[in-house]
Structures are given as structure tokens and as C-alpha cells.
Amino acid sequence: MATPLVAVEHRTEPQDERTALTKEAFQRDFFNNLFYILGKFPTLATKNDYYQALAFVVRDRMLQRWISTAAAYTKQGSRTVAYFSAEFLMGPHLGNNLVNLGIHDEVRKAVTELGLDFNELLLEEDEPGLGNGGLGRLAACFIESLATLQIPSLGYGIRYEFGIFHQEIVDGWQTERTDKWLRFGNPWEIPRPEWAVHVKLGGYTEPYRDEFYRHRVRWVPDRLVAAVPYDTPILGYHTNTANTLRLWKAEAPESFDFAVFNRGDYYGAVMQKVSSENLSKVLYPNDEQLQGKELRLSQQYFFVSASLQDMFRILKIQKIPVERFHEKFAAQLNDTHPAIAVAELMRLLIDENVVPWEQAWDITRRTFAYTNHTLLPEALECWPLPLFAKLLPRHLEIIFEINARFLDEVRIRFYGDEERIARMSLIDERGERYVRMAHLACVGSHAINGVAELHSELLKQDVLRDFYELWPTRFGNKTNGVTPRRWMALSNPRLTKLVSSHIGDEWITDLSQLRRLEPLAEDAGFRQQWLDVKRACKCDFAAVALKKTGITIDPDSLFDVQVKRIHEYKRQHLNILHVVALYHRLRSNPNVDITPRTFIFGGKAAPGYHIAKLIIKLITSVGDVVNRDPAVRDRLKVVFLPNFNVKNGQRIYPAADLSEQVSTAGKEASGTGNMKFSMNGALTIGTMDGANIEIREEVGAENFFLFGLTTPEVGALKASGYNPANYLDGELKEVVELIRSGFFSRGDAELFRPLIDGLVHHDPYLVFADFDSYSKAQQQVSAAYQDRDHWARMSILNSARSGKFSSDRTIREYCDDIWKAPAVPIRLLTQEDVKV
Ligand code: 7GP
């Protein structure tokens, strides 16, 4: 009898041979894949070949679920969530799929028995980094939770050939390299060229009468691009559900360049192909900073149009009339990047399906809902009208019509308030004219939400105030969450084992169960085990840090971590100024008793964001001095871990003692890294911003290090005329002088001048105003860490009370309040069921 390799107790249906993996079947299939897919044998096989052989074994096990899921949805015509997002920051698939299939440990054993290093194979996967940061990673957590909750759903996005750039640190500076994640192929995707659609661009429109003498408009484009879907299965945890992430690749339509080709312009035809493929070539690396480039708008329209056309195809297969589009689909706009969908759905309904305007508008509004992810004005998308008209002439006409009807409604509600009309218009006409995408998203949606309580309130009071006054009931909050499968079960197996050995493993799908750890915070034995787990994770990370930076760090020091995109509002400079202050204290009084700390930074700067790049240079420069100074005696270390991404995140969060969440109050919409840290037992030092407020509320004020101005205080200080120079005294002054003197730049007093002068004279994010409060809170941290046993108690409580921050809770709220999408459990089909 073969030993079953799979834990089957959570499943009710009979398993076929391919799913109930035995060790023998695993090893047979593994080598079959090596031979027959990769064409290799052990002597020549690389680690990547073995990774792929393993990936295909796993993929085979997913396909039965995928097919069963698709068959059930098709047959039942299930209501489906379509999550529209220009970014999906998925991270590596293999480990997550093993966890969700419930075969992780068994497969690890089987691989190890073959004499291969399982962890090394996992690291071979080039992660799909198809996102910049929070917004893209949230989309990834959401589609995983949707699958786990068995909600029919499709993720729609772009299959960028190059994802977020690879960051290297050269001489302390960030340098960017292209991310060639598809270099060795991608075992997780299946192309579906048979479902390719054409996307039109440019040209002009003309009115005509159709065969029934009806007034119609025809869009005559000057360019066609083929959109080819690449599908990736998204497994639910221990369920039979496998939903689909459908990403579009741009190609030249064969038929279109035919004419050019026949005219003998072979070169022209090839160029056309090249320029079409550009559309999905690269992810724009800007996070919360608008790139007003034509190619970016083309990308947005490209994936939105392809996705909506795909949804019409699905309606047709399921024999659902187009008038019921909104009953079949709930579409979520992940920020304004896909907001053009409002105009595109109108166009498809009116121009291509001859639905009357009023009915089309009703369908459109009932279909869409919009999530805002930032309050930063520079991130609000506005497209210059001439650019818009050139690329999407028909959509501009439709937007004008939507706007005219909308402004009529505003005029009636707010009689005589012409200023309000100008503020709310979909077109900004204060100077050069722009299309305001956030306004388009608002008028075209039945629900609008922010991503944490504070952020949703600020949306109503500030950026979207006029819309709130017009439609108060459309506004709501959906506090973000993260998936505990990737961010605990997969990335922190030690903690998972410890927790499950005490409270069972139901917490993995019901994170509120972690509360049952609370009494264990009073159990000395458990606290010791908890600290042992943390220490082991810190040792793992120390090995990674040594390998990637050459810096040796002490696992018994306090690991103080800030990992996220580099941005002034996130205030990595506040953090590094404090590091310099500690260094200054040590040099001024070498025998001062300080808690040994390792400051760990990670994050990418947008390539054109000079100050952010200079902040990285300051961090690495301070590190160069501090890490080498014998007077420090290893009590301080500063590490900048290059190329922070999902893979690296999985090793950092478990190892952190302290989580830095130090944005200026009112600027960080939510944050989600803050949740990953807290779940894994890190304490937070943070401001009253984004989800920090809710984390503190859950874990208790006594288990959280609060500092800084609140949002109203920030507003008041700015209104009263903030002068940062007024705060430049005491320790802060010494710190600033030290940097200015060139101490960290080999005597070059100019290097950091743009950064330091910016702070002294402008400081838009109130770094100086918050410095003192931050420094004091850091002293409390140091003192608290001295009592390791009490620290363990606080750490346990952070984790135990993090249940709210599971993306399962978030997704349930979206489903109940906005999408109205019920779960559809999947029965596994057998070969019998799917006979043609
Ligand atoms: C981010 C927010 O900055 C972060 O606070 C939030 O947790 C995350 O979205 C998910 O909601 N925003 C972006 O990543 C972004 O690009 C511009 O926003 C639209």
C-alpha cells in the first residue's frame, strides 16, 4: 500500500489518483515532468528545472479543481465578482499553492527524500511582481480570500512582461534593473489565445443610421491591438475552489497588418507588431505619483476593454441577456486606474448592443463600485483632454454626455451653486482641461469606499466631500486586511506550529480564533516558546541579511524594521534621523546604556523620485559609518536590505520585533504591512494614521507605542504657518548639523543638502514637528525591550488580537455590503462527469 501524501480529512469527496498524491505518484510525476516537459535528466538539470518539475506536479493537482470550479460556475450562471486592477503583486505561487492544497509538509518530505533542498527549489521561482506596493498586494490578498471563501470571482489585469524593477544598491544608491520574471517560463499560467479580443485605439467617430434607421455612432479607430488572456488558477485554502486571475497580454492582430503587408511594407507591418506589444511591456514603477503618459492611459483602457468584452463573452455562453449584466457581475475598481471602465461599459452597451442610454447607465452604475487608496493629491489621476480625445474619442463623447446629465442633477440639488458645479464636473476647466478619473469613478459607481476608518472619514470630509454631500449613502469603509495563509501559515511555519499546537488550526480560516492565545500570554512556558520562535526567525533573517549585504547582525538585538515604498509621507527620514541621534548619544557618551538595536530598512523608490533616492543613500551612508565604528561596539547596526518584494517580506515580517508605521497623520490611507507585522508578533511604533488606529484599538494602547501629531493637529499646525526651523534645537539640531557637515558623506557637505534644506525650510510632512515625540516613544521601546518577558506578553497579545486584519473579514464585508455575492461550494468532478 502506498502512503498517502495528502491530508484529506478536510475533504468530503472521493479523491482521484492525481489529487490524493502518494509518494510514489509524486516521484513518478516529478521525474516525468523533468523528462517530458523540461527535456532534462539529473546530470544536466538545474535547480530551476527541478523547481519547474515540482511546479508542474502541483499544477496538475490544481487543474481538477480549476475545471470543476469553472464547470460549476458556468452551469449555475453564478454571480461573479470581477476585480479590476492594474496591479496584482502576487508573489511566488509554489509555496502558497502547496499550503492551500494541504500538501506542503508531505511534498517537502518527498522532495527532501530525493536529496534535493526544498527551500532552495522554492527560492528558484521568479515572483510575479506585477505591482508597486500596497494597492497591488491588496489585490493579491483579496483574490486569495475570495477563493478561500468560495466566492465566484475573476481578477482582471495586465500581464506585464516586466514587473516592478529589481533594485540593487550600488555605492549606496538605488539602481534599477529590469525584472525578467518570464525568462525561464511561467508554469502557473495557461494562455487562452482562443479567447483573445481586439481593443481599438485612436481614430475618430461618425454618426450613422443602422438597418432599422436608428441613430448610431461608429468609432473608426486607427489602431487595433489583440488582447490575449493568460489565466492563473487561484486556490482557496482547503477548499475545492480554484478561481481565475486573467491577465491580458498585448499582441498585434494578425489580420490588421495584412493590408500593410500586402502593400509591400513589411518593415511597417513588423513595427506595428512591436508597438502593439509595447502596451503590456512594463509596469509603471510609480507609487502614488501620477505618470501622465499616453502609454499608461492606453494600458488602462487596454485591460479594461478586454475584460469587459470577456464578460460579454461569458454572458453569451451562459445565455444571459446583456440587460442583466449587473446581475451576473459585480465589478470593483481598484482605485481609478480602471475607471475608464465606466465609459467603456456604456459604449459596449449603447454602441455595440443598442441598449438605450438610461438603461445602459442604470446597468453601469449597478455594476461598478470604487475603492480609493490615497489622499495624496499628486496621485489623483487627471488626463489632459487633448490626449484623451486622441486616444479615446468615443469615450470622451460619452463622458461629456455623462457629465451633462450629472451636472443637471447637481444643479437641481444645489440650486445656484455654480462653484460646486465647477468643482464636481468630470472635466477640470480651471486652466488646461483635464478628465478627472476619480469623478468618473464616483458617478459611475453605486458604492464608494476608503480602506481604513480614518481614511474613509477623510474622503468624506475632503477629497470627495462634494460627492458625499450629494450621495451620502453611497459612501462606506472597508478596512483592509491581509491573507493569513501567505502571511502566517506559509511565511512563519514555526509560529504556525506553535499556535496550532495550542488552539488547533481553525485560525487559518477564522483569524478571530487567535484570541484564544490571550490566556497563554500569562503562561511563562508559552512565553518562552514564543520567544524561541521569534529568535529562530531572527537567526534565519540574519543569515539572509549577511548573504545579501555582508553585514553581520545580532539576533539578540532588537530588530526594528521599516519596509515599504520609500516616500516622504512615509517618513523613512524620521527613522534615520533617530538612528543618527542614537549614534550621536553613543559617541558623546560611549558608556551610555542602550538597548542594542538593528535597524532594518527595505523598499523601492520610484526611479524619478530624487529625494526618495537620496533618503536611501542617507540610510546606507549612515549604515556605513555606524556599522564600522568600533566605538559603537555593535550596539547599533543599520541594514538596507535591497529589493524588498513579497519573497523578502516573507522572511522579514516573522523576524521583526518592532514595526515602524510612522507616516504623517492623515497621509497613509491604511497600510497593510502594519497588519503583517502585528500578526507575527511585532509591536508597533506608530502615528494615529490609517489602520494603525484600528490596530491600536484591537491590541490595546498598552501594547502599542504611539507618538506624533493627530490629523487635526497636523491641519492646525499647517494652518497656523508651520516653520520647521522652530523645532531645530537640542538633539535634532546636533543630528542635522552632523549630516550637514558631511560626516556621513566623506566630507561632502553638498550631498544631502537637498534633503536637509528641504526639511529645514519646508518639511511638508512635519518630520521635525514629530521628531521629539518619536524619540521619546523610541526610548519607551528601548526600556520595554529590557524586560524580555513582558515584551513577550505584549507580542503574544498583538498576534492574538490581530484577527480583524484578515482579508477574509474584509472580503466578507465587500460581499455583504457591496457585491451581494454568495459562496458557491464546488464538488470535485471526476473523469466520468466531464466526458464529452
Ligand atoms: C496604498 C496606500 O498607500 C496604503 O496605505 C494602502 O494600505 C494600500 O494602498 C492598499 O489600500 N496605495 C497605493 O499603493 C497606491 O498606489 C495610489 O495608491 C492609487
594 CB-near residues (< 8 Å, 6+ apart): 582, 585, 586, 635, 636, 782
pLDDT above 90 as % of the chain: 91
Residue type at position 797: L
- Report how far residue 250's alpha carbon sits from residue 83's, in angstroms, rounded to the nearest whole number: 20
Ligand 1 atom with minimal separation from the 137 CA: 10
Bridging pattern class, strands 80-84 and 153-158 = parallel
Tell me the three state secondary structure of residue 591. Answer: coil
The CATH fold assigned to 79-88+132-378 is Rossmann fold (3.40.50)
pLDDT of 10 reads 42
Residue type at position 154: L
- Report how far residue 698's alpha carbon sits from residue 707's, in angstroms, rounded to the nearest whole number: 17
445-478: per-residue pLDDT in tens?
999 999 999 999 999 999 999 999 999 999 999 9
Residue type at position 262: N
Is residue 594 scored above 80 in pLDDT? yes
Tell me the three state secondary structure of residue 130. Answer: strand
Rounded (10°) angle between helices 453-461 and 692-699: 140
Ligand 1 atom with minimal separation from the 337 CA: 19
Q: What angle do CA 596, 599, 602 make, to 5 degrees?
A: 165
Question: Mean pLDDT, the chain, as a whole number?
Answer: 95
Centre a 10 Å sphere on the Cβ of residue 1 and count the other Cβ atoms it contains. Answer: 4
Nearest CA to ligand 1 atom 4: 671
Is residue 770 scored above 50 in pLDDT? yes
* Residues catalogued as catalytic: 373, 564-565, 570, 672, 676
Ligand 1 atom with minimal separation from the 288 CA: 17
Span between the terminal Cα atoms of the chain, in Å: 33
699-710: per-residue pLDDT in tens?
999 999 999 999
Alpha-carbon dihedral sign for residues 527, 532, 538, 544: negative
Residue matched to cell numbers 478536510:
10
373, 437, 667, best to mutate for ligand 1 pocket (most atoms within 8 Å of CB): 373
ipTM of this model? 0.97
Q: By C-alpha distance, which of 65, 101, 10, 140 is closest to 506?
A: 10
Q: What is the mean pLDDT of residues 296-315?
A: 98
Contact indicator for 249, 227 with CB cutoff of 8 Å: yes
616-665: per-residue pLDDT in tens?
999 999 999 999 999 998 899 999 999 999 999 999 999 999 999 999 99
Cα torsion for 361, 362, 366, 368, to the nearest 10°?
0
| Residue 373 CA to ligand 1 centre (angstroms) | 5
Distance set, CA 294 to CA 11, 156, 400, 475 (Å):
50, 21, 20, 31
Distance set, CA 508 to CA 91, 487, 499, 513, 580 (Å):
19, 10, 10, 9, 41
Contact indicator for 3, 103 with CB cutoff of 8 Å: no
User: Which cell is 206 given?
Assistant: 461618425
| Residue 363 CA to ligand 1 centre (angstroms) | 29
pLDDT of 260 reads 57
Residue matched to cell numbers 488547533:
504
pLDDT of 518 reads 98
| Residue 133 CA to ligand 1 centre (angstroms) | 7
Q: By C-alpha distance, which of 385, 390, 388, 425 is closest to 409?
A: 425
Ligand 1: list residues with CB < 6 Å. Answer: 132-135, 138, 287-288, 335, 373-374, 379, 451, 480, 668-672, 690
Instruction: Compare 292 and 371 and report the one with higher pLDDT.
Output: 371
* Same-fold call for 79-88+132-378 versus 484-816: yes
Ligand 1 atom with minimal separation from the 451 CA: 11
| Residue 661 CA to ligand 1 centre (angstroms) | 14
- Report how far residue 116's alpha carbon sits from residue 3's, in angstroms, rounded to the nearest whole number: 20
135-165: per-residue pLDDT in tens?
999 999 999 999 999 999 999 999 999 999 9
Is residue 610 scored above 80 in pLDDT? yes
Q: What is the mean pLDDT of residues 596-604?
A: 98
- Report how far residue 530's alpha carbon sits from residue 799's, in angstroms, rounded to the nearest whole number: 11
Distance set, CA 765 to CA 97, 134, 256, 740 (Å):
41, 20, 51, 20
Gyration radius (Cα) of the chain, Å: 28
499-544: per-residue pLDDT in tens?
999 999 999 999 999 999 999 999 999 999 999 999 999 999 999 9
pLDDT of 255 reads 61
55 CB-near residues (< 8 Å, 6+ apart): 93, 94, 125, 187, 188
70-123: per-residue pLDDT in tens?
999 999 999 999 999 999 999 999 999 999 999 999 999 999 999 999 999 999
Q: Give CATH superfamily name and number for 484-816.
A: Glycogen Phosphorylase B; (3.40.50.2000)
- Report how far residue 405's alpha carbon sits from residue 680's, in angstroms, rounded to the nearest whole number: 51
Is residue 296 scored above 70 in pLDDT? yes
114 CB-near residues (< 8 Å, 6+ apart): 27, 30
Rounded (10°) angle between helices 610-628 and 753-761: 110
User: Which cell is 198 given?
Assistant: 481586439
Residue type at position 715: G
Domain ranges of the chain: 1-76+93-126, 79-88+132-378, 484-816
Residue type at position 764: P
Q: By C-alpha distance, which of 274, 276, 285, 218 is closest to 248?
A: 276
Instruction: Point out which residues pair with 334 in neighbouring strands.
Output: 371
Helical spans, DSSP H, in 318-417: 325-328, 341-347, 357-367, 385-391, 393-413
| Residue 820 CA to ligand 1 centre (angstroms) | 25
204-253: per-residue pLDDT in tens?
999 999 999 999 999 999 999 999 999 999 999 999 999 999 999 999 99
717-734: per-residue pLDDT in tens?
999 999 999 999 999 999
Is residue 423 scored above 90 in pLDDT? yes
Q: By C-alpha distance, which of 454, 473, 654, 490 is closest to 561?
A: 654
Instruction: Compare 276 and 350 and report the one with higher pLDDT.
Output: 350
pLDDT of 11 reads 42
Q: What angle do CA 594, 596, 602 make, to 5 degrees?
A: 125
- Report how far residue 38's alpha carbon sits from residue 766's, in angstroms, rounded to the nearest whole number: 56
- Report how far residue 734's alpha carbon sits from residue 320's, in angstroms, rounded to the nearest whole number: 71
